[in-house]
Amino acid sequence: MTASAQSLDMLQIAAVAADAKSGEDLVALDVSEPLPLVDIFLLVTGRSERNVAAIADEIEDRLLEAGHKRLRREGRQEARWILLDFGDLVVHVFHEQERVYYGLERLWKDCPVVPIDLPARTPTE
């Protein structure tokens, strides 16, 4: 089983939104094989609680604008690890320390990485 076209579209929207708010180390994993209800995990790092919250808010806003329904959001108040569940796409926005500590890339290392296509930044950005 592989990620659906809709999941890949959602991933693209979320990745561009994360990049727009200075999200770092974006990694998308195709978890459709071990998890029948989810296609893709998107992992993003923010440098501070404020940055983590801004990244998560931007991703959520853009996916909602595109017509996707959020099923669940957790961790917004602490803004150390915010989980956004959009069904086929689950976004994990981490503070740097939490990303290292929880190591989701290690836990899901057998899952294929999904390429992310981000717009090129100009030197002034």
Q: pLDDT tens digit string along 43-94?
A: 999 999 999 999 999 999 999 999 999 999 999 999 999 999 999 999 999 9
Domains and CATH numbers, the chain: 5-114 (3.30.460.10)
| pLDDT mean over 7-30 | 96
Of 33, 45, 39, 32, which Cα lies nearest the Cα of 9? Answer: 39
The pTM for the full model equals: 0.92
| Structural tokens at position 76 | 């917004």
Spatial CB neighbours of 34, under 8 Å, sequence gap ≥ 6: 110, 111
> What is the pLDDT at residue 1?
60
Is residue 98 within 8 A of residue 81, CB to CB? The reply is: yes
Q: How many helices (H) and strands (E) does the chain have?
A: 4, 6
Of 4, 19, 6, which Cα lies nearest the Cα of 67? Answer: 6
* DSSP E strand boundaries for the chain: 24-30, 40-46, 72-74, 81-85, 89-95, 113-114
